[in-house]
Structure 1
Amino acid sequence: MPKAYVYTRHGGPETEALIDLDRPSPGPGEILIAVRAAGVNPVDWKLRQGFRRPDEGDQVFPTVFGSEAAGVVAEVGAGVSGFAAGDEVFGSTAQGGYAEYALLTADVTAHKPAALSFRDAATLPVAAATAYDGVRQLGLPGGATLLVTGAGGGVGTAVVQIARAFGLRVVGVAGEGKKDFVESLGAVHVSSGSELAERVRAVARDGIDGVYDLVGGPVLTEAAELLKDRGKLVTAGSRQETVAALGGDRVQRARTAAVLQAVADLAVRGALNPHVSRVFPLEEAGAALRAVEDGHALGKIVIEVAV
């Protein structure tokens, strides 16, 4: 039987296990893939702890981890067109991606360009697509200055590069240990910590035109104070009611194949490097999740499934 990495109830790492599961069958609008790689994201462990998406139904355990994956189409469900067995694809999972077989949602699945590895493709549906949606939502003109908090993480890495590809100047907030990495992405680094606004003003003397927040809390509040137009504040690191009180908005996710194709095109032409920092086999999925859960990972963590 195919293997999958799951959590058996809400809680901590003690709820996780690598188990045998029946091979899934694609329903209407779904695609079954033989997984080659799956991206690891903070939302994965947050869901294990009990975080619930607003549109999520009753939880069924065991639950397979993972929101994004890349692989080879094994079977397509009713109503799915444009995909066939043997196609190399990547997309958002319908039921988890840390597995030998996974179901993807056809509307949020794209063909993988031949020049893009499965490893890199698996990182795009969550981090890169969230980054792309937020930068587009801000709508800043070329030459404007964007402040990115949490610039050294998976989404932040993508935000900096996509913003640069759109012609923006970027100031990236991250820990001092990530300074060289953030600067290598093309951003001006500002260290995180107290009195953040003062340090940002020192490097952005013409002011900040937009903020893309990935941290929330006091960092979000202080970053918002740097803006003249609070409508140019978006967050993927805080709740809607919190950012709305500051005059901003949550990142509005498009969740379309067109966005996946756009970020894949950026990756192929070299404007977006997912910066996969570590790769783990499926058998070590727990270690991969810990690398993200401890909050110190640079770039993206990926799980690869042996063929």
Structure 2
Amino acid sequence: MPQAYIFTQYGGPETEALVEQDRPVPGPGRLLVAVRAAGVNPVDFKQRTGYQRPGQQRRALPAVFGNEVAGVVEEVGEGVTGFAIGDEVFGNPVAGGYAEYALLPVEVTAHKPAGVSFTDAAALPVAAATAYDGVRQLGLPAGATLLVTGAGGGVGVAAVQIARAEGLDVIGVASAGKKDLVESLGAAHVPSGPDFAEGVRSLAPDGVDAVYDLVGGEVLRAAAGLVADRTKLITAGGKDIVADLGGSPVVRARTAAVLDEVARLVVDGALDPLVTRTFPLDEAAEALRTVEEGHARGKIVIEVAA
């Protein structure tokens, strides 16, 4: 039987387990995909603790971890068009992706370009697509200055690169250990910490044109003071407080068209998913801890053997 990495109840790492499960069966509008790679994101462990987006139903337990995968179509459900058995695809699974098989809805599944590896493609549906949606939401003109907090993580490295491809000047806030990483993406680095705002002002004395926050909390509050137009303050990390600061959450499109766009950026060389470490499925726990404990540089991906 195929394997999957699950959580059996809401809580901490003690709820996790690698188990055998029946192979899923695709219903109408669904694809059964043999997973080749699954991206690891902070939302994965947050869902284990019971987090859910507004309007989203809690997942039935036990639940498979993971929100982005790349793989090969094994079966197509009723009414599916545009996809066939053997197609290489990537997208957002219906109910988890740390598994040998996953179900994908056609509306958030795209064809993987031949020039993009499964590992890189698995890093796109959550991290890169979130970055893309946010940069497009801000709608800044070329030459504007964007501040990205949490610039060394999966979404951050994509946001910096997409913004640079749009002709923006970028200031990235990240730990001192990620200085080289942030600067390699074409951004000016400011060390994270309680005084990061002073570091930003040393580079942009009049403040910045926009903020893309990926941290939340006090970092978001401090960053808000650096942008005069609060409609240009967006966050994927502090949705609970951003409205009080005059900003807004990142609005996710969640469409196959966006997936096509971020894949095109990879093919064109404008976006490197920066997968810095991979783990096999039987080491999914270690992969998740790497992200949960904040030790990840760039993107972490679980690779599943064919």
Deviation larger for 195-204 or 65-74: 195-204
Once the two structures are superposed, residues 102-157 of structure 1 have per-residue CA deviations (whole angstroms, 9 ceiling, x without a partner) of: 01121000000000000000000000000000000000000000000000001001
1:206, distance to aligned residue in structure 2 (A) = 4.9
Secondary structure, counterpart of 1:285 in structure 2: helix
Letter in 2 for 1:250: P
Q: What's the offset of the Cα at 1:211?
A: 0.2
1:27 partner amino acid = G
Partner of residue 209, structure 1: 209
**1:285 corresponds to:** 284
**Corresponding residue of 1:127:** 127
Q: 1:290 to 1:78 in 2, by over 3 A?
A: same
In the aligned structure 1, how far is the partner of 2:25 from the partner of 2:14? 29
Q: What TM-score comes out, normalization by structure 2 length?
A: 0.98
Equivalent residue, structure 1, for 2:261 = 262
Q: Which residue of 2 aligns with 1:301?
A: 300
Letter in 1 for 2:88: E
Number of equivalences: 306
Unpaired segments ≥5 residues, structure 2: none
**CA displacement, residues 50-96 of structure 1 (integer Å, 9 cap, x when unaligned):** 11222333532210000000000011112221001000000001010
2:278 partner letter: V
Whole-angstrom distance in 1 between the partners of 2:166 and 2:28: 37
Mean alpha-carbon deviation: is it higher for 33-42 or for 20-29? 20-29
* Residue number in structure 1 paired with 2:231: 231
TM-score (norm 1): 0.98
Runs of 4+ residues deviating >4 angstroms: none
What letter matches 1:251 in structure 2? V
1:89 maps to: 89
Distance between the aligned counterparts of 1:192 and 1:14, measured in 2?
31
SS of 1:23 mapped into structure 2: coil
The answer on 1:14 being equivalent to 2:14 is yes
Distance in 1 (CA, whole Å) between partners of 2:246 and 2:9 is 37
1:63 aligns with 2:51: no
Code of the residue aligned with 1:189 in structure 2: it is: H
Find the counterpart in structure 2 of residue 276 from structure 1: 275
SS of equivalent residue, structure 1 residue 172: strand
Where does residue 241 of structure 2 map in the other structure? 242
AA partner of residue 200 (structure 1) = V
Q: Secondary structure at the match of 2:120?
A: helix
1:93 aligned counterpart, secondary structure: coil
Gaps of 5+ in 1: none
Distance in 1 separating the partners of 2:185 and 2:80: 38
Higher mean displacement: 192-201 or 277-286? 192-201
What residue identity is the alignment partner of 1:66? G
Q: Distance in 2 between matches of 1:262 and 1:282?
A: 28
